[in-house]
Structure 1
Amino acid sequence: MFTIEHDFDATVVTLVDEGAANLQEDVTVCAFEDCVTVEQYDPRRDAVVRITLSLHQARELGAALHLPEGIYRAKSES
């Protein structure tokens, strides 16, 4: 299951892990004008862990999900 919310400065997608065993904490993806953040609560640290991707990195990640194993370079957007 996932939710999508449009806030003032970001689109927020929350991914909820549904299943039988080994459930993970929710993942929150926030798409801003200049970057994308991915957050997940880490119960071992009792803190939210955040990574920040540039828009270029986010596009490459999206493309990588649909490609076979290998090394790739995205075309520049000139």
Structure 2
Amino acid sequence: MFTIEHEFDATVVTLVDEPASHRQEDITINAFASCVTVEQLNPQTNRVEQVTFSMAQLRDLAAALDLPEGVYRLIPDDTPGQG
């Protein structure tokens, strides 16, 4: 299950782990114009852990989900000299 909320400066998506024997804490994704943050409560420390992705890193992650094992570099279609 997930929720989507549009705030002033970000779109916030919360991923809720459905009831299971090993349920994980909710994950909150904040999509800003320049970056995306992923947050999750660490129940051992009772602190929210945060990871920040640049837009390029997020683009690479999205591409990586559909590719086999290997090393890749994405080249934008509008790069000069690429045809």
Scaled to the shorter chain, the TM-score interval is: over 0.9
Q: How does 1:64-75 map to 2 (within 5 A)?
A: 64-75=64-75
Question: Which structure 2 segments of 5+ residues have no match?
Answer: none
Pairwise CA RMSD of aligned residues? 1.1
Greater radius of gyration (CA): 2
Residue of structure 1 equivalent to 2:43: 43
Q: Output the CA distance in 2 between the equivalents of 1:41 and 1:61.
A: 22
**What number of residue pairs does the alignment pair up?**
78
Q: TM-score, normalised by structure 1?
A: 0.93
Residue of structure 1 equivalent to 2:32: 32
Residue of structure 1 equivalent to 2:11: 11
Q: What percent identity do the matched residue pairs reach?
A: 59
How far does the alpha carbon of each residue in 1:50-77 deviate from its partner, in whole angstroms, 9 at most, with x for none?
A: 0101000011111111111111111145
User: Does the residue aligned with 1:25 lie in a helix, a strand or coil?
Assistant: coil
Extract structure 1 runs of 4+ deviating beyond 3 A.
none
